[in-house]
Structures are given as structure tokens and as C-alpha cells.
Amino acid sequence: MVSGVAGARAWFRFRGSAVTITSATGPAYGRAEIWVDGTLRRRLDLSAATKTFAVARTVGGLADRVHSVRVVVLGLPGKAGTGTAVAIDGWSVA
């Protein structure tokens, strides 16, 4: 999934105590937020000098129950690039 449009989002429900989101980074990528159960847990800057896939970002320390995770595109470039895209390569749950 890829979008650079502010407000675009991907979400799913899972049961576990941690979720890892893998994404691409590079000059075409921008900023995003990870929300869990309606609470902002991480702000991401996916910009980088070179393109890399499967960069893992984990939110842990959650109670072992059903959660909702949402990745929100901010539509803003990061510090190391000019693009606004956010690409999600995958998810894993622990």
C-alpha cells in the first residue's frame, strides 16, 4: 500500500502485545503516524538518502488483547527527502 495523500490510512485489528509495521524509506517518502487504540504511539519520518525496503517499526508493551492499529499519512516530506509517500510493506504481531 502506498499513498502520499494527507489523511490516507491503513488499519487493522489484531490480538497481541506488540505490532511491527514494515515500510519503505527513501527520498520519495515522507511522514506518518502510528495510532493504537486511538492513541498516537509513534511519529515516523520515512525519508532517507537511499531507498530501503522492509524497515521495521515496532509498538510494544501492549496488553495481550484485541487492538486496533492505524497508520496515517501526514502528506509532509521528511528531513531527508522531498516526497510525501508512505509505503507499508507488511505487518507482524507478537
Task: List, for residues 54-77, the tens digit of each pLDDT value.
Answer: 999 999 999 999 999 999 999 999
Answer CATH for 2-93 from 2.40.50.140, 2.50.20.10, 2.60.120.260, 3.30.360.10: 2.60.120.260
Q: What pTM does this model have?
A: 0.94
Domain ranges, ordered by start, for the chain: 2-93
Mean pLDDT, rounded, for 9-38: 98
Among 84, 20, 82, which residue's Cα sits nearest to residue 54?
Answer: 20
For residue 56, which amino acid is it?
A
